[in-house]
Structure 1
Amino acid sequence: MTNMNRSVYLSNVRLADGQRVSVSIVDGHIESIGVQVVAPHDAPIEDGGGALLLPGFVEGHTHIDKSNWGRPWYRNEVGPLLTDRISNEREWRKTSGHDAAEQSLALSRAFVQAGTTRLRTHVDIDTDARLRYLDGVLATKETMRDTLDMQIVAFPQSGMLIRPGTVELLGDALAQGADVLGALDPALIDGDPVASLNATFALAERYRKPIDIHLHEPGEIGAFTLKLLLDRVEAMGMQGQVVVSHGFCLGALPERERDALLDRIAHLRVALLTSAPPSRPVPPLKLCRDKGITMFGGNDGIRDTWSPYGVPDMLERAMLIGMRYDLRRDDDLMIAFDCVSDAAARGCGFADYGLRAGARADLVLVDAETVAHAVVARPKRKLVVANGRIVARDGALVS
């Protein structure tokens, strides 16, 4: 991706409401969008051909360090438990020659090719690999810095307290460039939710980092952990700085208990992430939005030892969110797209996002009649602009 021009003029494109507009991009930012927009001096002119204009997509939760994308097929014979998957993956990564730098770069490029311009990835930190995977993803972040706005979560995939030394490694990861502190199932994995959350919030306070916690814990166990988490958010003044990923318990609790938790989540400005898995309970999307909770979407793992599924295409993830939540009306499918665009940018804290003057110029053109049509049909990306540069055309990266 060697195109260094960060000023572009897009003509003859359509907004979601059907209005035909032009877009002036100067120095990597949107200067203006409208009907009578003047082209910047000496900027190349791109005729959009009446294509639908979308903001660059946001991947809110993935694991690019562990993907098997582009490699030979991985034969999955892992056991059914979460701990089976964790142990199997850790051993496979040690013995297979898997390269976190190579794989994270390949997957990042595939994301950009399909229109993703902002991405939050969780990177395994454990006492076997130490910071090796982080080093690989930091290299990818540097390589992609002009194209892909990436946040790295230091994530204790194998547990934290149950593997002595992990707390210190997480601190090292935050000091060396991780943007967010991750956590995992304080009750079912670490076995002590109070001590685990205390350690997590102490690290976040020390390094002044936000938190993104994987909470797979079901039903009442998950609710208990979530209450402890919310207590700490309130006590430490971390409103607006915490994401709860998955939150399966919120899809399985009795309505009264669930709603009380959701009201508190809204009050503390905790965001929720879902990959909309078909086989697990999920937080109620529309109810969360009605309560003012930011709820957004992500792929989770893509083609790794956990699962053979997933592709780096956020329009497909939006479609899967729509299917999981039975979103059929066009206005409901706009909600699914919001989960991989504005809501995801808000939930992750990505700045300068959107189709507005002053925002970073991250744009996608597709041949679709409406946003709902784009989500369902997932057409080839006609043009992808990232940080003001044309980086993909007709579904292929621009070299």
Structure 2
Amino acid sequence: MRITNVRPWGQSPVDIEITDGLISHVVPHVPALARIGDVDGRGRLGLPSFSDVHVHLDSTRIGLPFREHTGAPGVWGMMLNDRNNWRDAETSLPDRVVGTLERMIAHGTTRVRSYAQIDADCKLEKFEAVLAAKEKFAASADVQIMAFPQAGLLLEPGTVQYLEESLKLGATVMGGIDPCQLDRDPVRHLDIVFGLADKHQVDIDIHLHEPGHLAHFSTELIMERTRALGMEGRVTLSHAYELGNVSDAATERVMDGMSALDISWATVAPATSGKQFNLAAMTQAGIRVGLGEDGQRDYWSPYGDCDLLSRTWQLAFTHGLRQDELIEHAAAIATWGGATIMNRGLTRLGSTGDRPGLRVGDPADLVLLAGETVTSTVMDRGNDRTVIHDGLVVADQLELVL
């Protein structure tokens, strides 16, 4: 397969040859050498395809009518709002998950790490819906499923057993959530999370909404277990928006620990009143950073549109980025940064000027987008897109073709 007249990261036009799912040649574009069967890039930008490393496919309401937001404040109150309503939606959960994943792929996301809530209420029902969608679109996207204890591990009997069953059935990431604030027993909570991950040899991703010093305490415990079990490169902190909000010295300590243990950070670009991690500083420290949409217009909030390019704009906006290099860096996080979390064999971003993903040897997972520059593409967020996964065109003009 060959893609012609595409501008990698907005640079000069090239032709890209793809062999066995990898980029095998990149040469300057010569119009006279066009041949039948080529994919015409039409001078559009080429980026690595998007990587959504924090999405809750299991609670989606994408495609359904808007409803009044009825959730109470806090994780537990929001969880109960979902629990009280998700079965009464206008269409079945499996159909909602399939429709949402299809729309994500059509917009350019071919790497997805989705949560699957597992608790005493839904048991494995939400996990099975996400697993079915993963299998349906196996040729169009790489999907990792996280066994996620949204209601905690210790508050309802049977939760741990259901979580372990999902790991046996195909979940490849073990989740945790607010070890101190939700379960109020961080040692036992993390012993279970790390114990199941170690037993089944899967990665870990821990939701961390906890405030300031409490978040730092939980992170210290997470680092201790990562080091003790030799799980360097296998752990992600999601949200963790308070870790940059205590003091410069505390932020530096936690960043040093994350760097040394290759603990990554998945953000959903929240609007916060405090001081967040600095994106450039995280990359400079060698910490893998990825982006996700979180909920998709669900019972937690009305936000989410299946388009990680929109969330890239939000990442740049909430971090106050104006310079082209830094906005392009936000796009690199949304594409390649998340890919390196899902596949630690990929080289992490080295600087705010690093623009990987369209070089010889890189996976042929690309998205072609209209725009003069990467910054203009992030600002305009147009619909002229062609999506390539594993060397095949899987979507064009926001419609799946594979």
- So what's the TM-score if we normalise by structure 2? 0.92
CA positional deviation for 1:375: 1.2
CA positional deviation for 1:152: 0.5
The answer to whether structure 1 residue 373 and structure 2 residue 385 are counterparts is no
The answer to whether structure 1 residue 153 and structure 2 residue 146 are counterparts is yes
CA positional deviation for 1:293: 1.2
Change (3 A) 1:71 1:253: same
The answer to whether structure 1 residue 329 and structure 2 residue 323 are counterparts is yes
Aligned partner letter, 2:387:
V
Instruction: Determine the C-alpha separation between the residues in 1 that align with 2:31 and 2:111.
Output: 28
Instruction: Determine the C-alpha separation between the residues in 2 that align with 1:38 and 1:100.
Output: 48
- State the SS of the aligned residue for 1:249: coil
In structure 1, the residue matched to 2:222 is 229
Q: Which moved more, 1:319-328 or 1:16-25?
A: 16-25
In structure 1, the residue matched to 2:80 is 87
Change (3 A) 1:199 1:98: farther
Alignment RMSD (CA, Å): 2.2
Q: Determine which of 329, 346, 354 is the counterpart of 2:340.
A: 346
CA positional deviation for 1:16: 2.1
CA positional deviation for 1:25: 2.3
In structure 1, the residue matched to 2:353 is none
Q: Which moved more, 1:388-397 or 1:66-75?
A: 388-397
Q: Determine which of 310, 321, 324 is the counterpart of 2:304.
A: 310
CA positional deviation for 1:75: 1.5
Q: Which moved more, 1:50-59 or 1:359-368?
A: 359-368
- Equivalent pair of 2:147/2:166 in contact (CA under 8 Å): yes
- Equivalent pair of 1:239/1:268 in contact (CA under 8 Å): yes
- Equivalent pair of 1:9/1:40 in contact (CA under 8 Å): no
Q: Deviation per CA, 1:150-171, whole angstroms, max 9, x where unpaired?
A: 0111100111111121111111
- Equivalent pair of 1:9/1:43 in contact (CA under 8 Å): no
Alignment of 1:231-380 (within 5 A): 231-279=224-272, 281=274, 282-349=276-343, 354-380=357-383
- State the SS of the aligned residue for 1:283: coil
Aligned partner letter, 1:216:
H
Change (3 A) 1:363 1:245: same
Instruction: Determine the C-alpha separation between the residues in 1 that align with 2:302 and 2:345.
Output: 33
Instruction: Determine the C-alpha separation between the residues in 2 that align with 1:351 and 1:101.
Output: 32
CA positional deviation for 1:31: 2.5
Q: Determine which of 382, 385, 389 is the counterpart of 2:388.
A: 385
Change (3 A) 1:172 1:244: same
In structure 2, the residue matched to 1:4 is none
- Equivalent pair of 1:24/1:39 in contact (CA under 8 Å): no
The answer to whether structure 1 residue 12 and structure 2 residue 8 are counterparts is no
Q: Which moved more, 1:17-26 or 1:160-169?
A: 17-26
Change (3 A) 1:237 1:38: farther
The answer to whether structure 1 residue 144 and structure 2 residue 137 are counterparts is yes
Instruction: Determine the C-alpha separation between the residues in 1 that align with 2:132 and 2:35.
Output: 34
Unaligned runs of 5+ in 2: 347-355
Change (3 A) 1:15 1:96: closer
Aligned partner letter, 1:66:
S
Instruction: Determine the C-alpha separation between the residues in 2 that align with 1:39 and 1:82.
Output: 59
- Equivalent pair of 1:345/1:351 in contact (CA under 8 Å): no
Alignment of 1:175-214 (within 5 A): 175-214=168-207
Aligned partner letter, 1:292:
G
Aligned partner letter, 1:284:
N
CA positional deviation for 1:97: 6.5
Q: Which moved more, 1:293-302 or 1:319-328?
A: 293-302
Change (3 A) 1:83 1:388: same
The answer to whether structure 1 residue 110 and structure 2 residue 113 are counterparts is no
CA positional deviation for 1:393: 2.1
Aligned partner letter, 1:360:
P
In structure 2, the residue matched to 1:21 is 14
- Equivalent pair of 1:11/1:45 in contact (CA under 8 Å): yes
- Equivalent pair of 1:245/1:274 in contact (CA under 8 Å): yes
In structure 2, the residue matched to 1:126 is 119
Q: Which moved more, 1:266-275 or 1:87-96?
A: 87-96
Instruction: Determine the C-alpha separation between the residues in 1 that align with 2:298 and 2:201.
Output: 31
- Equivalent pair of 1:24/1:40 in contact (CA under 8 Å): no
Instruction: Determine the C-alpha separation between the residues in 2 that align with 1:37 and 1:300.
Output: 42
Change (3 A) 1:363 1:39: farther
Unaligned runs of 5+ in 1: 1-7
CA positional deviation for 1:41: 12
